[in-house]
Structure 1
Amino acid sequence: MPETEFFPAAASLDADPFAPEVLENPLPLQALLRDAGPVVRLERYGVHALARHEHVHAALADWQTFQSAAGVGLANFRNEEPWRPPSLLLEADPPLHDAPRAVLTRILGPVALRRLREAWAEDARELVDRVVRRTEFDAVADLAQAFPLRVFPDAVGLGKEGRHRLLPYGDHAFNAFGPPNALVDKGAPRIAELSAWVDGQCARERLAPGGFGAAVWAAADRGDITGEQAPLVVRSLLTAGVDTTVHALGAVLHAFATHPGQWRRLREDPRLARTAFDEAVRWESPVQTFFRTATRDVEIAGTTVPDGGKVLLFLGAANRDPRRWHEPDAFDLSRDPSAHVGFGMGLHQCVGQHVARLEAESLLTALAERVEHIEPAAAPRRHLNNTLRAWDSMPVRVRLA
């Protein structure tokens, strides 16, 4: 018996997932989408939405049916001009995706992480020691932003000057995946300046020897990628390698500030640092949504998504789906969070996720050594973004060990 006899047509909602109140707190809409059915039609934007873990996971893994090359935002590159050259990692599919992905996988692999581990641990200890002496501070500005902006651009090979521009540039890039709303308008006046600066940092002569960026150019010299591709690959590192890690660190710091029992568990066993980071990525989902585009008429649970139709994948909703997770709203270090889709899944899974985990492990381990207790000192404030779940400010108070 065909699936259409088991499932009704897709539910239809007029909800706006990019409305300010939803970006401030997406959980009610996520629950509504999951409960409405396997596929939900979002009439406001003329797209289909998937919010259950089973279907989000499957769509992310099936790049042949749900392509990234037509854009991972609302804009459809089949008939719309992108605002910048598309990312060779995020907005490309095989065969164009293959060589850049292979180059970055090798550059960001275990050898590089072993080389960085000791230096990043020392950087984290120095930063934490300086910050926690105040006992009250902003965990976003002083830790979640400060640490990635310190160590990751160093690893890429950027100079010290101007790297603060990476955050507003990335903020606009992720806002642009949504509709042309007020958040996009807010970033538009500076984007030409910011894009020019970022593009300039991707040139061979601007990158220090021995860094990730120089390794990308060396790959071009070997013929692994072309000279035209090299700066775009470096740009992908700078676009996706800072903001997402900043907000993932904000997520785990917020989790521990509001879950003192879990902080005690980490202090008792610092080896849980990586589990804590992945559990925070599942629980908070710093990357909330990504679009895909159907490459053919495709049936999902009895609903046909037409060829060229945009599909909005709710990663955050999938990561709190009670069909997949026991007590999904709990931040719990005893959980195995490895099946979360916070880093994507399949061919386009985040190539730098292990770098982000090392940053988190370094920072959390240093904090656990110095801080006995962490708690909110005032109400945190969200930073709204069309794609990212982020914090603007997170005042905390610590008691030193």
Structure 2
Amino acid sequence: MSDAPATELIEGHRPIAAPPGVAEWDVDPYDPEILKNPEPFYRELRAKGPFVYLSRYAMLACGRYEETHEVFSDHERFVSSRGVGLQDFSLDEPWRPPSKLLEADPPAHDTVRRVIVRSMAPNVVASIRDMFKQAADGLITELVGKRSFDGVHDLARVFPTTVFPEAVGMRENDPDRLVDYGSMVFNAIGPDNEARRSAMAKGPDVVPWITAACERQHLENTGIGGIIYAAADAGEITEHEAGMLVRSLFSAGVDTTISGIASALYCLTANPEAFAELKASPNLARRCFEETLRMFAPVHSFCRTANLDTEVAGVPIEEGSKILCMLGSANLDEEYWPNATTFDINRRPVGHLAFGMGIHNCPGQNVARAEAEAVLMAIAEKVDTLAFDGEPEWGVNNSVRYLKKLPLTLNQVMHT
């Protein structure tokens, strides 16, 4: 055990000493330059061993696939209820009530998980696919008329902030606030740095708005939100829990989907042969999105907390240890993925960690897939070529890897 008193916390968690044989590394994974271009950091992290001790945060990090998968899959040894960021909720009070979905473990996690999974079950997703398709067709047709556009602001951001609130049943949508709310949640997982402070500064405006917008009286009863509130009527969850679950849809399902769609556009533009294959076989849209998620995991890192003294890959891990799991790095591990840094639209990247793993895997992943597939299939049908119209720019977020700017030009398919 660490000699440091429990009250001397680092970023809200108890510091630990480096386990025997584990490399110590004085690097800040939240450095803006690393967040914008993490691949060199990922490579060095994997090269140093199954775990690395991050000295400035007095915690562990893992970036290889095998160990990251093991930590994420074992919710009994590595818990989420003590926070999925640097903070240990058992020692330091979080800025908001913990998520009943993301920051809870069984049995508290079980009921809300059942409700949220039901709200986005296959039959629900099937019922909203036509709406997604119509919206995607209309948006891509509009962009074809422009020819030059920003793939983030004009497409990847517009689409999810329009169709997902409609699917949930939100009556008063505010796309900018939705994005700001997601940014708050994901930046808050990191340390007290500029990214976190600037995102949290929007809290006084964003939090009251999202709280009210997700209340029953502000939702249509026919959408995903209505299914969640029906569970409250049935006594499965409380009214308060229903509101929190609806909010969790937007905290986890907006910024990440924007990231995934923008990265897919980037991959297709950077790999014209892959775009040609997609055009020839639009049913590759799903595989294209999965490969994008593997290469550019929207959530690049989450923490788990060791709930007991344990061991992984021969490394002793003491109770209370925070482990920064670099999902983006694990998805690029050359020991697991052949030609890991190559975008291969024909790859079947089963087991990628972009949606997490285990009981906390993303319950809305099939909605995100349906959104992305609608966009990619519309592009395959209506666009002949994609090209960069300037340098893409990556943004800074403590937990989400995302494109800030993606200037593109396209040529329309000419029908004869």
Q: With the length of structure 1 as denominator, give the TM-score of the two structures.
A: 0.97
Match of 1:178 among 151, 171, 190: 190
Taking structure 1 as reference, are residues 161 and 50 closer, same or farther at Cα in structure 2, changes over 3 Å only?
Answer: closer
Give the deviation of 1:189 after TM superposition. 2.2
Structure 2: distance between partners of 1:130 and 1:161: 21
Match of 1:212 among 202, 224, 249: 224
- Whether 2:378 is the aligned partner of 1:366: answer yes
Identify the residue that residue 57 of structure 2 maps to in structure 1. 45
Aligned CA RMSD, in angstroms, stands at: 1.1
Identify the residue that residue 144 of structure 1 maps to in structure 2. 156
Match of 1:198 among 188, 210, 216: 210
Identify the residue that residue 26 of structure 1 maps to in structure 2. 38
Does the CA contact (< 8 Å) of 2:383 and 2:412 recur in 1? yes
Identify the residue that residue 253 of structure 2 maps to in structure 1. 241
Does the CA contact (< 8 Å) of 1:171 and 1:385 recur in 2? yes
Structure 2: distance between partners of 1:90 and 1:355: 17
Tell me the number of residue pairs that the alignment of Structure 1 and Structure 2 aligns.
395
Match of 1:98 among 105, 110, 115: 110
Does the CA contact (< 8 Å) of 1:203 and 1:231 recur in 2? yes
Does the CA contact (< 8 Å) of 1:282 and 1:320 recur in 2? yes
Identify the residue that residue 121 of structure 1 maps to in structure 2. 133
Q: For structure 1, which runs of at least 5 residues remain unmatched after alignment?
A: 1-6
The amino acid of 2:209's aligned partner reads: W
Give the deviation of 1:352 after TM superposition. 0.3
Identify the residue that residue 303 of structure 2 maps to in structure 1. 291
Local SS of the residue matching 1:290: strand
Structure 1: distance between partners of 2:129 and 2:214: 25
Identify the residue that residue 222 of structure 1 maps to in structure 2. 234
- Whether 2:95 is the aligned partner of 1:73: answer no
Structure 1: distance between partners of 2:141 and 2:169: 25
Local SS of the residue matching 2:390: coil
Does the CA contact (< 8 Å) of 1:48 and 1:310 recur in 2? yes
Identity level (%):
41
- Whether 2:366 is the aligned partner of 1:342: answer no
Structure 1: distance between partners of 2:303 and 2:227: 31
Structure 2: distance between partners of 1:14 and 1:379: 31
Does the CA contact (< 8 Å) of 2:172 and 2:218 recur in 1? no
Local SS of the residue matching 1:228: helix
Question: What are the Cα deviations for residues 66-122 of structure 1, in whole angstroms up to 9, with x where unaligned?
Answer: 000000000110111110111111111111111111011111011111111112111
Does the CA contact (< 8 Å) of 2:190 and 2:398 recur in 1? yes
Give the deviation of 1:188 after TM superposition. 2.6
Match of 1:112 among 124, 127, 137: 124
Identify the residue that residue 231 of structure 1 maps to in structure 2. 243
Structure 2: distance between partners of 1:160 and 1:366: 27
The runs of 4+ residues in structure 1 deviating greater than 3 Å are none
Identify the residue that residue 399 of structure 2 maps to in structure 1. 387
Question: What are the Cα deviations for residues 167-189 of structure 1, in whole angstroms up to 9, with x where unaligned?
Answer: 01111110110000011111232
Q: For structure 2, which runs of at least 5 residues remain unmatched after alignment?
A: 1-18
